[in-house]
Structure 1
Amino acid sequence: MTAVFVKICGVRDLETARVAAGAGADAIGFVHHPASPRHIEPADARPIVEALGGVETVLVVRRLPLDRVLAVAHASGVSTVQFHGGEPDDDLRRALDEGFRVIRALSLAEYLAAPPSSTMDARLLLDAPDPGQGRLIDAGQFTRRPERPWILAGGLTPDNVRAQIEHLHPDGVDVSSGVESARGVKDHAKIVRFIENARAAV
């Protein structure tokens, strides 16, 4: 089995980013959503992005006007934009045209109701209904598996990530609250253990 892609999301400081990258994370996510305890401004994200070298850097947004999304993405220096608000295909295409890679995040219910087009060069992330709340997706409702590579998110922790990978067989995993000691506060030991356990899945 190819090693699963691992993204550590909601990072707000360079030390945490370096811990995640050093432990083998493939991507680091930065949340730009003022209502979130993980919110970060472009001026604070950019030095972290520039220090990370070859690690994929992802701007996570939710229901922002596209012009604002693109402005924040350029100002932050990230390589990828992750859309979380049911944005139309045209928004994703414009982000691609601007040179960003794209991740389309959907809840399992949204995905089952209307699977996205397979013709667009956007990765799919399947999440629980309320992103960032630490809830697992309902695997019992997983009746239609994606035909292209996809990322599992929602409720993952160092203790359950290996079992979830072995049960659902995603191509990647994304964690935020599951590696925190308090809302918005990353626990470095949990990050390292999460990555180790994800890599141990077979």
Structure 2
Amino acid sequence: MAAGDEAAFRRFFDHYAPSIFTLVERLTRSRPDTEEILQDTFMKIWSMREKLADIGQPGHYCYVIARNMAMDRLRKFAREKTLQNSIREMFPQSHDHSAEAAMISRDYQLRLNEALQQLPPKQQEVYRMSRENGLSHEEISEQTGLSKSRINNILVAVLKHIKSRLGLPSGLTILGAMAHFFHR
């Protein structure tokens, strides 16, 4: 395999993939994430195949890579959930119907829609499913066929685009950006 023998890699994959799949699925409890992590694990193994000759237990090494990728995904998901909960706490649904609040809301919505129109259709769709329809990453994943991590990456890119199009300072966090816009 270290010499680039694809048949050897196929045998390695066939031998380890089922047990790695089970390990990762137990950790993530998400079939789409598990499939993506499995693919990424073996792509990483193949990309560094020259170094495998120096590794005493390549199977164990493969398990470690998969476990680390799964744990990274879980930590990222936990950070995202914490951020979403913080936003909800800081900006609860308001019933303030004052003229100023309505004007700010209209202005924000117009600028937001302009920024969204500049994005590819798939990014617009994922954003709207998440932010307007309130779907979770898992629900969006099921409806679009994209992995939860891909959904997350799309949303990060969309939010970055929106921040830049709304003229918000680049150093602001999402929470700070919302506060900056609504309290200027």
TM range (shorter): under 0.3
Higher strand share: 1
Q: TM-score, normalised by structure 2?
A: 0.26
Greater gyration radius: 2
Higher helix share: 2
